[in-house]
A = this chain, B = another copy of it.
């Protein structure tokens, strides 16, 4: 699970972390500010932030004793780019063609 895409998807697989990203979309925030809406301890949030940072989804800066987190959406672009490869499988414009190709494939499998 060492590849970049896996790290990104794994980071996004936790609802708390996605909520943190949603909050950061409204502006930078400190660890305490990010922890406030959740019923989990500060160390737990601190770890989530480390996971997000390692995935490149946030950057952090220090100002006095506060550590501010800032959203970095570039990894989301990468993840989206990967998914785009499958767009034809859900996009209406391609559904008909895709069904046709699958039919062809099934026929070939018979032989």
Contacts and interface: CB of A to CB of B under 8 A. Distances in A.
Contact of A13 (B1, B84, B86, B106): B1
A28 B89 CA distance: 13
Nearest to A2: B15
Nearest to A108: B27
Nearest to A75: B90
A97 interface: no
Contact of A79 (B5, B6, B27, B83): B83
Contact of A73 (B12, B79, B86): B86
A74 to B, nearest CB: 6
A75 B92 CA distance: 15
A52 to B, nearest CB: 13
